[in-house]
Chains A and B, each alone.
Chain A
Amino acid sequence: MTKFKRVLGTAAALALLAGAAQAVELRFECAQDGNECDTMNAIFQKFTAQHPDITVKMDLVPYKAILENLPVDLAGGAGPDLAKVTDLGGLHKYYLDLTPYVNKDEWEKSFGKTLDWYRAGPDDHGIYGIQTQLTITGGFINKTLFDQAKVAIPGPGATWDDWAKASVAVAKATGTKYPMAMDRTGHRFAGMAMPYGATYFDDKGNPELGDPGFVAAAKQFVAWNQDGTMDKNVWAAQGGATYADASKEFINGDLVFYYSGSWQVQKFASQIGDGFDWEVIPAPCGPAGAGHCSGMPGGSGVVGFKSTKHPKEVAQLLDFLAQQDNYATLEAKSLNIPAHAGVAAAGVKYEGASPAAAKALNAFAAQVPTLSPVAYAYQGYKNNRAMFNITVTRLTQAIVGELSLDAALARMKDDLAQALAAAK
């Protein structure tokens, strides 16, 4: 009997060990933006229910860790299996190509143009990531302040200059502290530069920060910061390329016009509540004319890394997330604009969105078809983050008077050359 028990015990232990050896745990690094990570986690639980041998351990990290620590971890071979990233092209060299594991045609049909943002260039046809959050930069206005000031809201086709004049008039009439503000990033600045005619690439397709449209926008932006049209605290009170925004000022009713993006909708809906009426405006135009009224697309996506020991399982998980019903759930609960053609065509029934939030999300979604080709090209360019950072650092120096605008533009050119040389 004792011998039998011993054999039974050994068999049970071996079975347990074998089970443990087959189980796969995937590490997913996620920076919470609203409830996106939580929603994804719920979808991953559903995946695990269908694939009991694959579990997903979600590490919630600050956004700064995704920007600064993740690239270093990946370079050192110590990255997670998957992550939600925003430097879509910049991290390309670490991405796992999902092509051998997924239905490529289906992914191409569903995610179209956004797949290019993860690729190395035009010759790369791999499948690397799923755009979970399609964002568009755009303007928000405090409608209540416009009403109180009895200033007409500029209509479709209004230029940046029209919005600046109107915002200043509203701020003056209502005693509001700041007429305008823009997030401190080169990505948001591009949303202003394109209507001024910025192309960001020369005729040969080489990146540049100094075309006439870019210079005109830079000149106007610096002037608006210096004369108080723009809230100078956002750009000038920081150093380097540190990100800063003015969402707090907008929520507090201290700001008339705020240029940020669609990811703010959920926050505004929950934090402003019925404090005042706010709305999303059409993409402001500029001297370049009607075809250039465009925000910048962007957002975040989930990618797998080639350093993973479980490429097949990573691909399975991403393929599951990309399925139309799962993707629709993610977008509906996290209040994001869908990048999946099927989901976009079917429309998203946003769960728990207030009427203001739903209206704002629809306003942003309506801008997707009118995005400028320059915007897609700039967003898809692998070194765009270097260009964003250079723009922020040098424009800030011009705003605070450390450099003249001409000197700042000359420095941008040098910095870009240095960055491109290093990134080869």
Chain B
Amino acid sequence: MLKLITPVMQVVEWPMRALQRVLGPRRLAWAFLAPNLVLFSLFAFLPVILNFVYSATGSDHILLRDRPYVGAQNFAELLNCQSYTDPNSCRIDVFWRAVWNTVTFVALQVTFMVVFSLLTALILNRKIRARGFFRAVFFFPVLLSPVVVALVWKWMLQDQGLLNATLQNLGFGTVNWLLSPGWAFGWSVFISVWAHMGFYTLILLAGLQAIPRDVYEAAAMDAAGPWRVFRRITLPLLMPTMVVVLVLALIKGVQTFDEVYAFTGGGPGSATTLVIQYIYQTGFAGTPRLFGLASAASILVALVLVGLTAVQLWLTRRNANG
């Protein structure tokens, strides 16, 4: 192998040395970073800047030269509310319905996600029969496309779907799950937890396996009960992993779009419309396409996500520092 690499390196060496002579060692580092920086600027920084520019312009034209400058008008419209807790009092009521739906969704989804992931991880960490099989089963939904997940559940839950047919065969009454705002929302949360739980379970499982066995052995010698062991050993030592799971789930929860959109379309009415769906519909699926309003809404969401990420970093560093 070395015989192959050495001639290649000799070919590369000469231009590298020449470049270093011209640029100097410090600037050479920038030359190496340049391709990545160019790509990053093009596909990350530039869209962010464009998003800000769009948020300060109006009309349904996509080219910036055709879009009049409107200042903070888009933000003013979004934030124009008599009471932020009552979407009906807001100028753009659907945005605030989506915001409150997202807050409720995230609160429920993250709580259930963390609790069920933890319970599953605790069970899968025990020496149970067919442990490998069960680990695969819980992880399997993570591999599915969100749209597939949504369509499968929609097929089961629609008015004449599998669940209602089963209930009917068992002699129970049927429920129009997707027509009731409460049920549609509840099922959206459930499906989201079901689809993503495997990922967080895996992280928690890794965290559980990183806890030294001797601590448990010491607790067993002291005749500590299972609940006490969980409360005094497992939970505190798992806390850094739990924080990561919590913040990741929070960020992912705020970003939820595809599976709920494919499952309910945001309905009934706007009962399951989440904020990312609002942005998508306003900017791309509506007529006319209100790119400015959608950009402004996405900046507001980004601010929330930046806040959550800052919390994650702070908590992670605090945990790392003990």
Contact = CB atoms under 8 A, between A and B. Distances in A.
A68 B284 CA distance: 6
Contacts of B176: 232-233, 237
A383 B281 CA distance: 17
A117 to B, nearest CB: 16
Contact of B62 (A75, A240, A241): A75
Interface string B172-208: 0000101101001000000000000000000000000
Given A75-B61, A233-B176, A400-B181, A240 B285 contact: yes
Interface stretch (B22-30, B122-130, B222-230, B268-276): B268-276
B8 interface: no
B179 A240 contact: no
B289 interface: yes
B320 interface: no
Max chain A CB contacts within 10 Å: which of B61, B62, B63, B287? B287
A403 B290 CA distance: 23
A389 B287 contact: yes
Given A68-B284, A385-B287, A422-B60, A232 B266 contact: no
Contact of B266 (A240, A244, A389): A240
Interface residues of A, number: 39
B179 A424 contact: no
A396 B269 contact: yes
Nearest to B178: A237
Nearest to A254: B160
Interface in A370-410: 383, 385-386, 389, 393, 396-397, 399-403, 407
Contacts of A67: 285
B269 to A, nearest CB: 4
Interface in B255-286: 264-273, 277, 281, 284-286
Question: 5 closest A-B pairs (Cβ-Cβ)?
Answer: A239-B266, A75-B62, A239-B267, A400-B269, A385-B287
8 contacts: A237-B178, A239-B268, A239-B271, A241-B281, A399-B269, A402-B270, A402-B271, A422-B290
Interface of B: 58-63, 88, 91, 93-94, 97, 158-159, 176, 178-179, 181, 184, 264-273, 277, 281, 284-290
Interface of A: 67-68, 71-72, 75-76, 87, 90, 232-233, 236-242, 244, 383, 385-386, 389, 393, 396-397, 399-403, 407, 411, 414, 418-419, 421-424
